[in-house]
Structures are given as C-alpha cells and as structure tokens.
C-alpha cells in the first residue's frame, strides 16, 4: 500500500467515523486527517489501521478506536497553548494527536516496552513537544503540574485524586470511569479548588488502569 492509499483511507475514516458521528472541532478533524495512524501499529495490522475498532499493540493492550480518540480529544477543548498530561501512552497515537493541538504533552505509560516503541515512532515523526515517562500515571506527574488538560486512556474504578489535584482551575479531565467490563466516559471541569462540574458522554470500554489509584494488578 502506498502513502496515497493510507491518506485515502484516513480521509475516509475522518468522513465516515469522525465527522459523521458529530465531531466538530476543526483542529481535531485536521489532526485526525494528518497523523499516520498505521505507523503506530505492527505492519501486519496496517491494512486495518483506519477501521472502526481498537487494535492490539502487544502486552494485551490496545490502540483505541479512532472515534474515541477524536471524542476524548475534542472534550479537552484545546486551543494550542496548553500543557496536557496523558495517562496511558500506549501506541503513542493519541499522544501525537494531542501534540498537534497543544503546546506540550506529558505522557506516562506503565509498560516499558510499549513506552519505548511509542517514543521511537514519535521521534521518527519528529514530534519535539512530547515528554514520556515510564511509571504509574495514577499518581500524576507533579513536576510539570498544574495541567490545562488531563486525559486518561485506560479504565479507572474512580477518579484518581492526584489527577484532580494536578488540574488547573478551568482545566478538564477526560476519563473512562466504571467497572472492569464497561465504563462511562466522564469529563470533569475543575471550577474551584475542590469543585468540579461533571458531564457523562456514555458507555465505552477500555483496558484497565493499573496503579496506586486504579485497579490492583
Ligand atoms: N491512547 C493509546 C493509544 O492511542 O494507543 C491507547 C492506550 S491503551 C487503551 C491503555 C494504556 O494504558 C496501556 O498501554 C496500559 O499499559 C496503560 N496503563 C494502564 N495503567 C496505567 C498507569 N497506571 N499508568 C500509565 N499507563 C497505564
């Protein structure tokens, strides 16, 4: 398959899965058109890279469905000058989308081999505004806090308190919260030191967030 074939598939993905389902933020749409999702996957999966479902990335983890990536990103309401914390680097695809839309992206992944692979793909694509660390993201990353936005791309039984603490007032936390088999996608907008508004964007299914403030191993 040539670069043009992938571009064609990507445009079709954006039209039929992203715009058709109601994503409106033009910057998110442009990022989804631009980032070469197939490069974040093993070559054997390239033919499926733009299909409407999650795919395996090794270590029993997944790259999220394109629509979920677009929806979660849109809910962060990024304008370009933000500092964003991502928990669950995974393939690095969502990280690249965030790096297109924010000033700086800090991303934490607990599985070293996965983080290293993502780092290489992101370096090959010449992203210079992404910092990745290996560790437990449920405790956040206090060194660079507070953040304008925090996105958790694994399923949590509850909202990890350190993440809410490391969010700026006015900032947004996007996180799937619920049981092991299904969760709700929740957006928390921090309105005061210990105050937030909450919106529920419906059912979703993620792999488990494992850590001090998540599921136990
Ligand atoms: N957004 C990713 C992408 O675009 O490929 C998909 C992320 S995948 C669904 C969830 C990731 O969260 C996995 O790679 C998993 O190892 C990681 N994870 C789970 N618990 C974590 C934790 N406490 N801290 C950091 N990463 C964690």
Q: Residue 96 belongs to a domain with what CATH number?
A: 3.40.50.150
Q: Is the predicted pLDDT of residue 1 greater than 90, yes or no?
A: no
Give CA–CA dist 2/19, Å, rounded. Answer: 25
What is the per-residue pLDDT for 4?
84
Give CA–CA dist 145/190, Å, rounded. Answer: 14
Cβ–Cβ < 8 Å for 156, 184: no
Is residue 8 in some structural domain?
no
Per-residue pLDDT tens digits for 125-171: 999 999 999 999 999 999 999 999 999 999 999 999 999 999 999 99
Is residue 169 in some structural domain?
yes
Name residues whose C-beta falls within 8 Å of residue 70's C-beta, 6 or more positions apart in sequence: 18, 23, 28, 29, 32, 97
Provide the domain limits for residue 177: 65-204
Give CA–CA dist 18/67, Å, rounded. Answer: 6
Is residue 5 in some structural domain?
no
Judge whether 182 counts as a catalytic residue: no
Is residue 109 in some structural domain?
yes
| Predicted TM-score of the model (pTM) | 0.97
Q: How remote is the CA of residue 88 from the centroid of ligand 1, in Å?
A: 3
Q: How remote is the CA of residue 114 from the centroid of ligand 1, in Å?
A: 9
Is residue 58 in some structural domain?
no
Is residue 54 in some structural domain?
no
Tell me what the pLDDT averaged over the chain comes to.
97
Per-residue pLDDT tens digits for 62-99: 999 999 999 999 999 999 999 999 999 999 999 999 99
111 lines ligand 1 (CB under 6 A): yes
Which residue has a Cα nearest atom 20 of ligand 1? 209
Q: How remote is the CA of residue 4 from the centroid of ligand 1, in Å?
A: 30
Is residue 50 in some structural domain?
no
Number of structural domains found in the chain: 1
Give CA–CA dist 69/99, Å, rounded. Answer: 13
- The structure tokens 């990103």 sit at 73
Is residue 133 in some structural domain?
yes
């Amino acid at each position: 398959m040539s670069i043009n074939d992938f571009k064609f598939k990507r445009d079709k993905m954006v039209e039929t899965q992203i715009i058709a389902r109601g994503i409106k933020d033009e910057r998110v749409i442009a990022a989804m058109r631009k980032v070469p999702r197939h490069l974040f996957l093993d070559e054997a999966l390239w033919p499926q890279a733009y299909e409407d479902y999650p795919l395996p990335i090794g270590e029993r983890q997944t790259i999220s469905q394109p629509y979920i990536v677009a929806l979660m990103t849109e809910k962060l309401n990024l304008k370009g000058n933000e500092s964003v914390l991502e928990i669950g680097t995974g393939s690095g695809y969502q990280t690249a989308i965030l790096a297109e839309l924010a000033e700086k992206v800090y991303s934490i992944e607990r599985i070293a081999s996965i983080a290293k692979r993502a780092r290489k793909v992101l370096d090959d694509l010449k992203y210079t505004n992404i910092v990745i660390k290996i560790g437990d993201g449920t405790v956040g990353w206090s060194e660079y806090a507070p953040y304008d936005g925090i996105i958790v791309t694994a399923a949590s039984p509850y909202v990890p308190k350190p993440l809410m603490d490391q969010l700026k007032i006015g900032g947004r936390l996007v996180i799937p919260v619920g049981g092991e088999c299904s969760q709700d996608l929740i957006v928390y907008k921090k309105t005061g030191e210990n105050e937030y508004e909450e919106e529920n964007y419906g059912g979703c299914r993620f792999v488990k967030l494992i850590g001090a403030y998540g599921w136990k191993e």
